[in-house]
């Protein structure tokens, strides 16, 4: 009897494992764009890195763990860059990174949504980011857009010259 059970179990394991989806590890490629804008200020972050594991057929198996170097901020104005890095705004010396770690990824309409912890200026908040994923011959591109309230993260003084709502646009090319 045992000589039939073990081969049957082995066959079952091999058959089911053939249908198990393994999420792809994606490498962030050059040409990414992390933009921010409000009515009063805009710019980009030049340094973005991290780990992206994504499977469009099984989004629940996906994970994002990415960071932005705060000191890489570029508003197009050297004085504004210096001010943005100061302790009045991002305090890049004390909080050198903006981090995002996903908790859940789901299919949503024609795209996806990732919900995770966004940490800016030492403040961590659950944030949902809608995004699309477009494959190409060279890899793929993640594109998303969302809005944050800078005061929620204690960035700058409430009110003042810069609007509270900051729009973030992300375009991240990736390769396998």
How high is the mean pLDDT in each 10-residue block of the chain (176 residues)?
53 44 87 94 96 96 98 96 95 98 97 98 98 94 97 87 92 96
The predicted pLDDT at position 2 comes to 54
pTM: 0.85
DSSP state string for the chain: -HHHHHHHHHHHHHHHHHT---PEEEEEPTT-EEEEE-SS-EEEE--EEEEEEE-TT-GGG-EEEEEEEGGGEE-S-HHHHHHHHSTTTT-TTT--EEEEEEEEEEEETTEEEEEEEEEETTEEEEEEEEEEEEEETTEEEEEEEEEEEGGGGT-S-SSSSS-SEEEEEEEEEEE-
Q: Which domains does the chain have, with CATH numbers?
A: 22-175 (2.40.128.110)
């Amino acid at each position: 009897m045992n000589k039939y059970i073990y081969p049957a179990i082995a066959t079952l394991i091999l058959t089911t494992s053939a249908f198990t989806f393994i999420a792809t590890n994606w490498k962030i490629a050059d040409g990414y764009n992390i933009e921010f804008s409000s009515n009063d200020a805009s710019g980009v972050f030049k340094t973005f890195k991290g780990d992206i594991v994504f499977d469009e057929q099984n989004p629940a198996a996906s994970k994002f763990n990415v960071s932005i170097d705060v000191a890489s901020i570029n508003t197009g104005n050297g004085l504004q860059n210096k001010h943005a890095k100061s302790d009045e705004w991002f305090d890049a010396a004390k909080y050198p990174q903006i981090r995002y770690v996903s908790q859940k990824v789901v299919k949503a309409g024609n795209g996806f949504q990732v919900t995770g912890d966004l940490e800016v200026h030492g403040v961590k908040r659950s944030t949902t980011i809608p995004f699309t994923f477009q494959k190409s011959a060279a890899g793929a591109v993640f594109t998303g857009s969302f809005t944050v309230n800078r005061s929620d993260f204690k960035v700058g003084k409430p009110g003042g010259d810069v609007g509270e709502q900051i729009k973030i646009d992300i375009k991240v090319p990736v390769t396998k």
